[in-house]
Amino acid sequence: MRSILITGGNGGLGLGIGRYFLEKDPEARVWLGVRSNRAAAEALIAEFPERGRLVDLEVTSKDAWEAAVATIQAADGRLDVLVNNAGMHRDALLATMDDEAWRSVVSSNLDSVFFGCRAVIPGMMRERFGRIVNMASLSAVLPPLGQTNYAAAKAGVVALTQTLAKEVARAGITVNALLPGYIETEALAHLDAEGAKRAKMGIPMRRFGRPAEVAAAVFFLACQDAGYVTGSALKIDGGIF
Q: Which residues are designated catalytic?
A: 150
HEC string for 21-64: HHHHCCCEEEEEEECCCCHHHHHHHHHCCCCEEEEECCCCCHHH
Alpha-carbon torsion, ordered 235, 95, 106, 216, to 10 deg: -20
Asked whether the beta carbons of 158 and 143 are under 8 A apart, the reply is: no
Asked whether the beta carbons of 148 and 95 are under 8 A apart, the reply is: no
Rounded CA-CA distance 188/54 in Å is 26
Rounded CA-CA distance 4/1 in Å is 10
Q: Where is 33: in which H helix or E strand? A: strand 28-34
